[in-house]
């Protein structure tokens, strides 16, 4: 069959039986915790992209950086530590976590955080729930990554898990900021 504009690159049929490959070329079931975590991270990344398109944010480059960091985490999760590719991957470092904390502090300077539960959709800007949805997806991605760390003894992903924890805090604060500014 002739390759129609990359059709065979996209439609490989390799996963038709419920298996797919990690970045390390290990064939594993698509419902493995590795792919559940990567899928949750991928969904989160898409939500961050949606936020970028819906909101004018003076630090939009930071939102793009978050997406890059999520891609790093996905690559780390998809690569076994024994694979030589693993050493070439950029890791999540303490400085990356500190960068999110800095951005939380920056936003908090001009944001009032109510001392009550927030009901998504209970404000004037109908786009704010987009951020709240991203926050909940982030929490799910964090839980999936915690499961991956526990099941596969991936202590190398602890900083990635911390990053997701701070990211959900950032998204909460960012939603309140966009409500008020």
Would 75 be classed as within a structural domain? yes
**Spatial separation of the C-alpha atoms in residues 77 and 111, rounded to whole Å:** 35
* Domain span holding position 101: 7-180
Would 1 be classed as within a structural domain? no
Sign of the CA dihedral running 74, 154, 65, 118: positive
Q: Is 1 helix (H, G, I), strand (E, B) or coil?
A: coil
What pLDDT, on a 0 to 100 scale, did the predictor assign at position 4?
A: 62
Residue entry with tokens 């951020």: 131
Going residue by residue through the chain, which has 181 residues, state the pLDDT in tens, using 9 for 90 and above: 455 667 666 666 766 767 776 677 778 877 889 999 999 999 999 999 999 988 876 677 899 999 999 999 999 999 998 889 999 999 999 999 999 999 999 999 999 998 888 777 777 778 899 999 999 999 999 999 999 999 999 999 999 999 999 999 999 999 999 988 8
Give the other-Cβ count within 10 Å of 93's Cβ: 11
Residue 95: which CATH number?
1.20.1200.10
**Spatial separation of the C-alpha atoms in residues 71 and 99, rounded to whole Å:** 17
Closest CA to 25 of 70, 68, 82: 82
Number of structural domains the chain divides into: 1
**Spatial separation of the C-alpha atoms in residues 46 and 2, rounded to whole Å:** 32
């Amino acid at each position: 069959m002739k390759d129609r504009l990359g059709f065979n690159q996209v439609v490989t049929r390799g996963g038709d039986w419920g298996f797919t490959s990690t970045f390390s070329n290990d064939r594993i079931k698509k419902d493995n915790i590795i792919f559940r975590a990567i899928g949750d991270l991928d969904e989160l990344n898409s939500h961050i992209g949606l936020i970028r398109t819906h909101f004018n944010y003076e630090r939009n480059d930071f939102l793009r950086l978050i997406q890059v960091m999520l891609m790093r985490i996905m690559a780390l999760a998809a690569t076994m530590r024994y694979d030589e590719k693993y050493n070439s991957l950029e890791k999540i470092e303490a400085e990356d976590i500190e960068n999110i904390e800095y951005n939380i502090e920056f936003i908090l300077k001009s944001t009032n955080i109510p001392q009550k539960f927030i009901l998504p959709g209970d404000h004037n800007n109908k786009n704010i729930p987009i951020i709240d949805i991203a926050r909940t997806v982030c929490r799910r991605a964090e839980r999936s990554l915690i499961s991956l760390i526990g099941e596969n003894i991936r202590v190398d992903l602890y900083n990635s898990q911390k990053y997701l924890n701070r990211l959900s805090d950032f998204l909460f604060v960012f939603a309140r900021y966009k409500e008020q500014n």
